Structure 1
Amino acid sequence: MLRSIVFITALTACIPCLASWSIETDRSTPDKHGLFEIREEARRFIAQENAKGHERWDVLEPNAKVLVPRCAVPLQAQWTPKSLGRSKPSVMVICTTAAPNAVMKGWDIFVPVKQKSGSP
């Protein structure tokens, strides 16, 4: 019974924190790379692709569960290769060299995109 009370109290205390979280506030820190900056790199890439005039794309939100170490070099972005088996189009944001950590040397995050309505 006491465990249930503690769990419910802890859950209730966390609700305001979860409600205030958004990609807009998930910025990079010395230890982790923020989803805001990852999404912004995808947006820069898509803006360049849209400027080519072939198709028009909108960037959606990256998976909010993603947690990656801070990137030590500028991020890169490209279309996710079809060979990776993704069912929908996405942009792959790539960190080739993460800041020193015990988990990973580099990473890539898939950011979903959708065609703008009225695209050619």
Structure 2
Amino acid sequence: MAADGAQLRSTLLTAALSACAMCLASWSIDTDRSTEHTHGLFEIREEARRFISHENAKGQQQWDVQEPNLKILVPRCAVPLETQWTPKSYGRSKLSVMVICTAAVPNAVMRRWDVHVPVERKPN
């Protein structure tokens, strides 16, 4: 009987992990859109892309926007997002664009936030 219980738990665990893997496989930044309560990584990445597009138009160095950290979860921003190069004083190892929310919708977690979106120099 104990062996049957262990086998059932193992089967259930395997099924649960498979379901989680399928959910994660269908999730991407392109589907992570803003909701009433959270700001989507899609919109954050798009804001970084707009910033880099303006920087690339200056004609000096050319950059590609990478993906923001997929673990990031921030409250929805109540004001338009701002962007700038992440200051070197932040100690980040790679160059990134800082997407800034100066006023999040009222919540119990944070009033403002910033997300660092990495960039890479385009190959010549």
TM bucket normalised to smaller: over 0.9
Normalising by structure 2, we get a TM-score of: 0.91
Q: Distance in 2 between matches of 1:86 and 1:116?
A: 20
Larger gyration radius, structure 1 or structure 2: 2
Q: Percent identity?
A: 70
- Point out where structure 1 has 5 or more consecutive residues left out of the alignment: none
70-79 vs 3-12, which moves further:
3-12
Counting only pairs closer than 5 Å after superposition, residues 85-96 of structure 1 correspond to structure 2 as 85-96=91-102
What's the counterpart of residue 76 of structure 2? 70
The amino acid that maps onto 1:12 is: S
- RMSD over equivalenced CA pairs, Å: 1.1
Which 4+ stretches in 1 moved above 4 angstroms? none
Residue of structure 1 equivalent to 2:3:
none
Q: Deviations over 1:79-117 (max 9, x none)?
A: 000000011100000000011110000100000000001
Deviations 1:14-60 (A, max 9, x none): 22111111111110000100000000000000011111111100000
Secondary structure of 2:21's match? helix
State the aligned residue count: 118
Q: Which range moved further: 72-81 or 11-20?
A: 11-20
